[in-house]
């Protein structure tokens, strides 16, 4: 499964996931997406068949539901706790938890979501 890490999350998470063999890019690594609206991020991710990894649940869940209601698929959401610690240890923990979701869903998450609980 391919994934796109939302902008507010550290791009170091994407680096760690790539080091583990996963196809993950971060919005922060793409000049064409930095500062883009959540709607644009979801559209780009859907077009590229990448699940969006985000802790911005309040914005992405309604956008994903809207797409599905319009008959427009998306590649899935991996949802993280909105409150998280911003430390190097937290980056490693998040990367590990996300990696498990990616590993457990090699066929993708088309039109669905997976939650990662508090770490």
CATH number at residue 55: 3.40.50
Q: 50: domain range?
A: 2-115
Work out how many domains the chain is built from and give that number.
1
Q: Which residue's entry shows tokens 């993708």?
A: 108
**CA torsion, ordered 61, 24, 37, 9, to nearest 10 deg:** 80
- 91 near 12, Cβ under 8 Å? yes
What integer is the mean pLDDT of 78-91? 76
Question: Whole-prediction pTM value?
Answer: 0.94
**Residues 29-62 pLDDT 10s:** 999 999 999 999 999 999 999 999 999 999 999 9
- 97 near 116, Cβ under 8 Å? yes
Q: At residue 81, what are phi and psi to the nearest 5 degrees?
A: -60, 140
């Amino acid at each position: 499964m391919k994934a796109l890490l939302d902008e507010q999350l550290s791009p170091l998470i994407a680096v760690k996931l790539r080091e583990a063999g996963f196809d993950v890019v971060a919005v922060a690594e793409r000049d064409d997406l930095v500062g883009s609206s959540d709607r644009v991020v979801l559209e780009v991710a859907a077009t590229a068949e990448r699940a969006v990894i985000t802790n911005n649940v309040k914005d992405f869940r309604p956008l994903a539901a809207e797409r599905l209601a319009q008959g427009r698929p998306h590649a899935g959401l991996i949802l993280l706790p909105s409150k998280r610690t911003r430390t190097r240890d937290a980056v490693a923990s998040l990367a590990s938890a996300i990696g498990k979701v990616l590993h457990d869903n090699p066929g993708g998450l088309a039109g669905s979501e997976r939650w990662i609980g508090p770490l």
